[in-house]
């Protein structure tokens, strides 16, 4: 439930805006000039807002499709990311979005056609090479699908745009839209998991592991390529055993040969983000653990990080094809 819907005057009559507003007939609607008026002021408390965020309907005019950082990708040479939303439905304590924006309100950019034009330009720039587009950087790609209809628009668009590849990154079970249409081999739905203990402690509002595996299985059986993202790995005394149980749980339901790609990375945050988030959540154990600064990133001491990665890789390699494995190098 959102506390309020802010609508930019310029998109008030947009058909997508109207459909969204139809879902929130009981919610107060406030007209604004630009989403930055509500989203950007500094005197906001992300933590207080997160308990009952508002929705902001806006349009994105510039920098709609951005180059992905060096090292980020799934083996492709040309990697971009784009965000139809800012902020996430879920409340995961390790998430960098907590320190990214001053506001916890969810911004939806409704000018999908303009995003599509920017994607087409990027594809044409690199033709005939394949070009990857990652959609789950500033939000969960599918969690808000009933409201945003993001996949409903972008998946068919990618399917008809040669050489374009799309990663949908999600912790949700919102796969209904994908199951309605023919599977596209250039659209990978990547499910993020942390093992059960960290899930219970840190992923507030996220569907259970079992439900997500169920959703993943349904998609896989419908012919959709599936990705697994074990990121972040969060340390606790029984971490390795708990991770092993997660892997067993997943591969007892999913045929490993249907997995398009797997990646994993330990908990880490850019230094400034970390400081900001720690100020918001001084009571959070995750930020009180033994962490160190390495290459401007706060994370586990390198030896501990390496042990965690090695342990998880060994467990994973029992099931997956090594060619489908892509260690996270987003911040390295």
Partner 1 sequence: MLIWIAALHCEAKPVIDFYRLKKSPAHRGFDLYQNDDMCLVVSGIGKTSAAAATAWVAALQSTCASTAWINLGIAGAASHEIGSAFWVSKITCKSTGQNYYPVPTFSIDFNISACTTLDQASNEYQPSTLYEMEASGFFATATRFSSAELIHCLKFVSDNQHQQSRFEKAAISTLINQHMETIDKFAKNLQLLNQQCMNLKIDNTVWQSILEQARFSMTQQAQLKTVLGYLLSQGFDAEALCQQVSQRTSSREILKQLNQIRLDQSRNL
Site residues, partner 1 (CB under 8 A): 3-4, 6, 28, 30-33, 37-38, 41, 43-45, 48-49, 51-52, 54, 197-198, 201-202, 234, 236-237, 278, 282-290
Could you tell me the sign of the dihedral formed by the alpha carbons of 91, 92, 94, 96, in that order?
negative
Quick one: which H or E segment has residue 145? helix 145-148
CB of 205 to partner 1, least distance (A): 16
CB of 206 to partner 1, least distance (A): 15
Asked if residues 231 and 191 have their Cβ atoms less than 8 Å apart, the reply is: no
Nearer to partner 1, 151 or 206 (CB): 206
Q: Token pair of 127, please?
A: 């033709």
CB of 11 to partner 1, least distance (A): 17
Q: Token pair of 180, please?
A: 């309605």
CB of 222 to partner 1, least distance (A): 36
Nearer to partner 1, 123 or 202 (CB): 202
- Spatial neighbors of 180 by CB under 8 A, at least 6 apart, are none
SS3 154: helix
Nearer to partner 1, 104 or 131 (CB): 104
Nearer to partner 1, 67 or 289 (CB): 289
The per-residue b/e assignment along 43-73, b for 16 or more CB within 10 angstroms, e otherwise, is ebebeebbeebbbbbbbbeeebbeebeeebb
Asked if residues 124 and 91 have their Cβ atoms less than 8 Å apart, the reply is: no
Nearer to partner 1, 72 or 235 (CB): 235
Nearer to partner 1, 52 or 314 (CB): 52
Quick one: which H or E segment has residue 57? strand 55-58
In angstroms, the CA 141 to CA 55 distance is 16
Q: Terminal CA-to-CA distance of the chain, rounded, Å?
A: 37
Nearer to partner 1, 96 or 274 (CB): 274
CB of 238 to partner 1, least distance (A): 8
CB of 10 to partner 1, least distance (A): 15
CB of 304 to partner 1, least distance (A): 12
Q: Which residue, among 202, 60, 82, has the nearest Cα to 131 in the 3D structure?
A: 82
In angstroms, the CA 149 to CA 177 distance is 8
């Amino acid at each position: 439930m959102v506390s309020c819907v802010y609508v930019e005057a310029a998109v008030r009559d947009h058909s997508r805006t109207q459909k969204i507003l139809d879902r929130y007939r009981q919610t107060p609607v406030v007209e604004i000039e630009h989403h930055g008026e509500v989203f950007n002021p500094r005197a906001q408390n992300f933590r207080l807002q997160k308990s009952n965020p508002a929705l902001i309907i806006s349009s994105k005019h510039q920098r709609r499709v951005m180059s992905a950082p060096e090292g980020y990708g799934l083996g492709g040479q040309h990697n971009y990311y784009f965000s139809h939303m800012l902020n996430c439905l879920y409340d995961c304590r390790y998430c960098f979005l907590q320190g990214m924006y001053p506001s916890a309100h969810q911004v939806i950019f409704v000018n999908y056609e303009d995003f599509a034009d920017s994607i087409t330009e990027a594809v044409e720039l690199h033709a005939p090479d394949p070009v990857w587009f990652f959609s789950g950087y500033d939000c969960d790609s599918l969690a808000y699908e009933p409201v945003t209809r993001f996949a409903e628009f972008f998946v068919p668009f990618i399917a008809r745009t040669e050489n374009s590849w799309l990663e949908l990154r999600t912790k949700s079970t919102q796969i209904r839209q994908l199951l309605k249409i023919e599977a596209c081999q250039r659209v990978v739905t990547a499910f993020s998991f942390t093992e059960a203990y960290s899930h219970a402690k840190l992923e507030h509002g996220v569907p259970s592991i079992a439900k997500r595996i169920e959703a993943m299985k349904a998609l896989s059986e419908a012919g959709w390529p599936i990705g697994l993202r074990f990121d972040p790995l969060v340390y606790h005394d029984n971490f390795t055993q708990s991770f092993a149980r997660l892997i067993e749980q997943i591969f007892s339901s999913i045929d490993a040969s249907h997995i398009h790609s797997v990646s994993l990375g330990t908990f880490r945050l850019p230094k400034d983000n970390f400081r900001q988030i720690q100020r918001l959540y001084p009571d959070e154990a995750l930020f009180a653990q033994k962490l160190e600064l390495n290459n401007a990133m706060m994370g586990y001491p390198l030896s501990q990080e390496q042990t965690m990665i090695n342990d998880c890789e060994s467990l994973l390699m029992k099931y997956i094809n090594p060619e489908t494995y892509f260690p996270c190098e987003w911040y390295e």
